[in-house]
Chains A and B, each alone.
Chain A
């Protein structure tokens, strides 16, 4: 932590806005390898991260081959965040994310076939192919997008949590967003509402250091992001976003508090994207050396180092097979007929007896 950050952090704690771990420091309990997470199956975490990695590497190839089009934002390098957090999210809890959403969809359990088909614009895709890479929605796993408007998902998460509260359900809503989104009004409005109404939301900031080409220091007056949440009275943690165990541990603690009626919580995961913002960019805004430094902390390599007796090659080939099957599934898929274009602009009439028409 820089001197400037620690000064701000302590003033944050002093004015009472922050509580406990909420002063923006890396939470020591969360960043160690040992903690009390509920499902200690590291191999499963490794497999999930590898599925994301290999899926996206294949997507990059398919993009070059022009089989996938539009904007595609790769999550490569950031896999530990979605994997660690979503490992702790219960099946009936809601998840909201951004356009950089393949990792969240896969870690959430959306079938890879359907995600790949969506990338290809096939009717077999999660959104019938209509959304593509940036807009993955999946009702069975309560994945509410896939939002390509920066900051657009945060108010939705607040509303989902409000509904849970009003309907007497005790479950959390999890909302992922980039650090760039924290400059938008929607972030601040959402923080305030969630805190004011003590809503059960876990806000997860994926701080990868850049919003397109704009580095954190050039977009935020206060670069200690946890302090921003703390200013709204929201307990906030920072964790090592390259270490899936650290992320999982931090998420477990935060979610327990959220579900326990503690109100919203904020988790900053410090991470890095290894690739361009979208498929291609000039990378004029950061140095090669910085990218290489972060690659030394590749989340897959970090975790692999802790998996002594596991046959990683076997996992690799299983995952490779799954990815190829997904590509074959997408290839064999169909275009939605043009006659369906205007379907679902509005809801289809409910025909069951007694229902409004």
Chain B
């Protein structure tokens, strides 16, 4: 489906659901359509999921297909890979990205590697979903933003649904992919509501999307930071600065063509990422803009990223550590004032 179609559907305002419900609908739908699909992870069954995503699915599909696992991320992600190799279409839920590190070996050394290393013999049709991000005062060990780690890995496809429509629609497309797909759901989005087209169905996962058109500066972002960018764009608009906001949607592969096309029009780019700046996704996006749009740019590429610290518990320090709409707007203004490079 093209971007235009996706947007047209969202625009045709339909029932309002939460992001949580949208993810659940996506899972339910996939389970109904394909018997090979099952959901597995910690507390996905009786408890209803750490974030309540799978509430009610156990009752509908039973224990075989809504499969509670013990605390053993390496084990059950590895088992998901094995089940995918064996002909199933598993959706493995890792409660949060923080705990995915216990499974990183399986994801990198097996899921992402087998196809290439086996000379094309064994593909791994697995979908891994997990919550990511900070902002809820859960302190360092529960506030990581590690999408960039995963986007670093060839062999994976990495998605970051930032809207209700994508939360609903990306899963099926991901399940149809013959290779492993990792989906990051930002923890602050689960309670967000939005309109979901009544006939909503799978969405494309190859292209970034212009969430808000503009002329003067391009804000490039994904996931939980999209809302912040839209808020910043609203504030900037009041000052006559028209910011275009791009939701990357797919972090690997990156649809840089959509970004380049925008920057060619606005001549300024600000990359916004909740993760750390150094060696992060924002570095990759900024580098590509630098490589491809050098002669279009009227200002150095700017970045707003997390301060390079483990995210602390107290609200004021957490807020100081993470991007905010104010910091994004301020960085955009600096880009336009033409003075120094936007550094936040």
Contacts and interface: CB of A to CB of B under 8 A. Distances in A.
Interface string B304-319: 0001111011111100
Contact of B68 (A132, A218, A345): A218
B92 to A, nearest CB: 16
A36 interface: no
Nearest to A147: B141
B139 A184 contact: no
Contacts of A345: 308-310
B142 A148 contact: yes
Query: Which residue, A211, A213, A282, A345, has most C-beta atoms of chain B within 10 A?
Result: A213
B315 A212 contact: no
Contact of A180 (B48, B70, B75, B137): B70
Interface string A110-138: 00000000000110000001111011000
Interface string B128-161: 0000000011111110000000000000000000
Contacts of B71: 150-151, 180-181, 183-184, 211, 219
A134 B141 contact: yes
A69 interface: yes
B283 to A, nearest CB: 19
B107 interface: no
A152 B72 CA distance: 12
Contact of B139 (A134, A152, A181, A211): A134
Contacts of A149: 98-99, 102, 141
B253 interface: no
Contacts of B102: 149, 151, 184-186
Contacts of B138: 70-71, 134
Interface of A is mostly: loop
A69 to B, nearest CB: 4
A125 B312 CA distance: 13
A166 interface: no
A6 interface: no
B247 interface: no
B320 interface: yes
Given A212-B50, A342-B307, A71 B43 contact: no
Interface string B99-114: 1001000000000000
B47 A213 contact: yes
A342 B141 contact: no
Contacts of B98: 148-149
Given A129-B314, A149-B141, A336-B317, A214 B42 contact: yes
B343 interface: no
Contacts of B312: 129-130, 341
Interface string B64-83: 00001011111100000000
Interface residues of A, number: 40
A167 interface: no
Interface in A246-293: 281-282, 284-285
B267 to A, nearest CB: 33
A148 B317 CA distance: 19
A338 B317 contact: yes
A38 to B, nearest CB: 35
Contacts of B139: 70, 130-132, 134-135, 148
A220 interface: yes
B309 A185 contact: no
Interface string A319-351: 000000000000000011010011001000000
Contact of A338 (B43, B68, B316): B316
Contact of B314 (A135, A152, A185, A335): A335
Given A130-B139, A148-B139, A285-B46, A341 B314 contact: no
A335 B46 CA distance: 40
A52 to B, nearest CB: 21
Give the one of A181, A184, A284, A342 with max B CB within 10 A. Answer: A184
B314 A342 contact: no
Contacts of A284: 46-48
Given A150-B71, A180-B70, A183-B71, A212 B307 contact: no
A19 to B, nearest CB: 27
B321 interface: yes
Nearest to B317: A341
B95 to A, nearest CB: 9
Given A129-B312, A135-B139, A214 B74 contact: no
A136 to B, nearest CB: 11
Interface string B37-54: 000001100111010000
Interface in B306-338: 307-310, 312-317, 320-321
A71 B140 CA distance: 12
B309 A341 contact: yes
A281 B99 CA distance: 20
Given A134-B141, A342-B307, A214 B47 contact: yes
Q: Which 5 A-B pairs have the closest CB atoms?
A: A213-B47, A121-B314, A132-B313, A183-B70, A219-B70
28 contacts: A71-B138, A71-B142, A121-B317, A122-B314, A129-B313, A129-B314, A131-B139, A131-B313, A132-B139, A134-B139, A135-B139, A148-B139, A149-B141, A150-B71, A150-B99, A151-B71, A152-B141, A183-B75, A185-B75, A211-B70, A212-B50, A214-B47, A214-B70, A218-B68, A281-B47, A282-B47, A285-B47, A336-B314
Given A70-B137, A213-B47, 11 more contacts: A132-B314, A134-B142, A148-B98, A150-B71, A180-B70, A183-B71, A214-B47, A219-B70, A281-B47, A335-B314, A345-B309
Interface of A: 69-71, 121-122, 129-132, 134-135, 147-152, 180-181, 183-186, 211-214, 218-220, 281-282, 284-285, 335-336, 338, 341-342, 345
